[in-house]
Amino acid sequence: MDEALLRAKGLKSTPQRLMALKAIHEGGHIDIDQLHASFNLSGMKVPIATLYRILGELSSVGILHTVTLSGQKTRYEIAKGDHPHFLCEQCGQLEDLNVAMNEIVTIAQHACSHSTRSVSVMLHGVCHNCSTFPLSQSEKAGE
Ligand SMILES: [Zn+2]
Ligand SMILES: [Zn+2]
């Protein structure tokens, strides 16, 4: 499936590209460190610079979508149209929200005459897991 995806975008399917796509499919939204960790786990020793290049290639042809977070590393996900995200400020978990965005776009279009190309909505808060089982200071993500 990923081979076909790469071919459709004019990219050769290489083991490294396939591994990157597999890791992102499994992780949902992952950053460069998580990607590097999955490569290491699978026994593929690939320098971070190469991973950045692969992510850049996959993003430029539209296979990947980047989610920019202030103060955190960029997350990468398989592109699937605009959707809102929920970011947990405790564990750093990024979750897709199944909420239609067209309404926001329609309202914006009516409010002004700008034409919208893409929408990004980020909700911040504490996820269900973290509010049920609060992490101790030392276990917080990114420490
Ligand atoms: Zn959380
Ligand atoms: Zn997402």
Could you report the per-residue pLDDT of 84-142, keeping only the tens digit for each? 999 999 999 999 998 888 888 888 888 888 788 878 899 999 999 999 887 665 555 55
Instruction: Please give the angle made by the CA atoms of 35, 44 and 60, to the nearest 5 degrees.
Output: 45
**Ligand 2 mean position, distance from CA 88 (Å):** 13
**Ligand 1 mean position, distance from CA 22 (Å):** 24
What CATH number did the domain enclosing 9 receive? Answer: 1.10.10.10
* Token code pair at residue 27: 């992780």
User: Which of the listed residues 41, 64, 80 is the one where a domain comes to its end?
Assistant: 80
Q: What residues make up the domain containing 97?
A: 81-143
Give the ligand with the smallest distance to the CA of 87.
1
Q: For residues 8 and 58, state if they share a domain.
A: yes
Evaluate if residue 73 carries a pLDDT over 60: yes
Evaluate if residue 55 carries a pLDDT over 90: yes
For residue 139, which of 93, 94, 91 has the smallest C-alpha distance?
91
Q: For residues 27 and 70, state if they share a domain.
A: yes
**Ligand 2 mean position, distance from CA 95 (Å):** 6
Entry pTM = 0.83
Structure confidence at residue 37 as a pLDDT band (50, 70, 90) = very high
For residue 116, which of 128, 104, 124, 127 has the smallest C-alpha distance?
104
**Ligand 1 mean position, distance from CA 8 (Å):** 36
Give the ligand with the smallest distance to the CA of 30.
2
Evaluate if residue 64 carries a pLDDT over 60: yes
Q: Which residues surround ligand 1, an ion (CB under 5 A)?
A: 88, 90-91, 93, 127, 130
- The predicted pLDDT at position 51 comes to 98
User: Which of the listed residues 42, 59, 80 is the one where a domain comes to its end?
Assistant: 80
Q: Domain total for the chain?
A: 2
Q: For residues 66 and 101, state if they share a domain.
A: no
Q: For residues 75 and 122, state if they share a domain.
A: no
Structure confidence at residue 143 as a pLDDT band (50, 70, 90) = very low
